[in-house]
Amino acid sequence: MLQDTGVIRVGQTSDTTRIKDLISFLPAASLQQLTEETSITLVQNLQQVNISIPGRQQPIQTSYIHQGNGGQPILLLHGFDSSVLEFRRLIPRLAVSHATWGVDLLGFGFNQRPLDIPYTTDSIKTHLYQFWHTLINQPIILVGASMGGAAAIDFSLTYPDVVKKLVLIDSAGLTGGSPISKLMFPPLDTWATDFLRNPKIRQSISRAAYKNKEFASLDAQICASLHLGMENWHRSLIAFTKSGGYRPFRFTTLNKISQPTLILWGDSDKILGVKDAARFKRGIPHSKLVWIENCGHVPHLEQPEVTAQAILSFVAE
C-alpha cells in the first residue's frame, strides 16, 4: 500500500495488500480461468485511489489503470455496467507512446459504492473531475466507449479546458436510457438486476456486441462479470438507472463541443446500430468519422490494433 499517495496496487505483494485481500470477492477459480495475457496483466495492475468529492467527508475508493509515460495523457471511460477491464486490449497499445489511464466511473466497475450519495450523471462528472485533478491534472485526450461516450461528451462540455481532444467509440448519447430502466421499481428493480447478473444473459449480450462471435469467450465473460461481486453493485445500478442516466443530447448541445472529435464506429454494431455515427458527425462541429470494418459494438476489443492506430493518428494531428 502506498500510504503517502493513497494509492493501492492490487497486484502488490506487500504485507498489507494482496489481490485476495483488497478485492476479496474475486473468486480464485474465475481468476485462474483467465487465459488472455492482456486480461491477466490488467487485473494484476488494477489500482485504487481515494477520491474526495465536494460535500462528502469520506473519500471514495476508486479503481483505475495507468500504463505508459510521456505524450498527451489519454483517459478512457467504459460503458454501462462495465469496468476498466473492457480496455484490456487497447491500453497496452496506446501506452507505447502515451501515458494512458482507464478509470471506473462512479457507481460502476470495482469502485466503492456508498449508499449515501446520488448515482447520477452529475455525480459521475464531479467524481471524474476529482479523479483527473488528483492524478493527471493536465489537458487530456478523452476517450469514451458506448455509455462512456455520453459521459465523455458531458465532461467535455462542462470542463472544456481539461479536454484537448475527444474520441467517441460507438457512443451513446443520441438515444434514451436502457429499456431496463422501465423495470426499476420495487420489486422488479431487484428482478432486473438479477436478470443482468445471469451468466446466460450476460453471455448473450456479449455475443451481440461482437461481429465475430468467437470473441465472446470464457475469458471475455469473466472480465465482464468480475465487478458483479462488488458490495452494493445492484443498488448503485438501480439508483443510476432510476435517475434517467444519460438523456439524449440535442444537436444544439452537440454544436457546443469545441474540441476536435474523432468518431469511431463498428460497421456491424448490433447494439446501437450504425445511424448514430453520421448523426454525431453532423452534430459535432470539428469532427471526423472513421468506420471500423468487420466490427461490432466494441472496436476496442474486436479490432484493438486498428482502433489504437486511429486514436494515435488523431492525437498526432
Tell whether the torsion through CA atoms of 186, 188, 191 and 193 is positive or negative. negative
**Residue 2 covered by a domain:** no
Please indicate, yes or no, if residue 170 is contained in any of the structural domains. Answer: yes
Q: How far apart are CA 2 and CA 8, in angstroms?
A: 6
What gap in Å lies between CA 79 and CA 108, rounded to an integer? 9
Closest among 22, 106, 35, 97 to 67, alpha carbons compared: 97
Q: Print burial letters for 186-203: b (CB count within 10 Å at least 16), e (below 16).
A: eeebeebbeebbeeeebb
Q: Is the dihedral of CA 87, 91, 94, 100 positive or negative?
A: positive
Q: How many CA atoms lie within 13 A of 51 on its CB side?
A: 31
Check residue 151 and give its pLDDT.
Answer: 98
Domain membership flag for residue 279: yes
The identity of residue 149, as a single letter, is: G
pLDDT of residue 34: 87
Integer Cα distance of 6 and 149 in angstroms: 28
The CA R_g of the chain, rounded to the nearest whole Å, is 18
Q: What is the pLDDT of residue 199?
A: 87
Q: 307 in a domain, yes or no?
A: yes
Assigned domain for 131 exists: yes
Which residue range is the domain that position 294 belongs to?
7-316
Which residues of the chain are under the pLDDT cut of 50? 1-23, 25, 179, 182-184, 188
- Tell me the C-alpha distance between 105 and 125, whole Å: 9
- Beginning with the edge strand found earlier in the chain, give each strand of the sheet holding 287-292 in spatial order: 7-9, 47-51, 60-67, 100-103, 74-77, 140-145, 163-169, 261-266, 287-292
Instruction: With residue 44 as reference, give the H or E element that holds it.
Output: helix 37-44
CATH number at residue 79: 3.40.50.1820
* Domains: count for the chain: 1
Closest CA to 88 of 297, 301, 263: 301
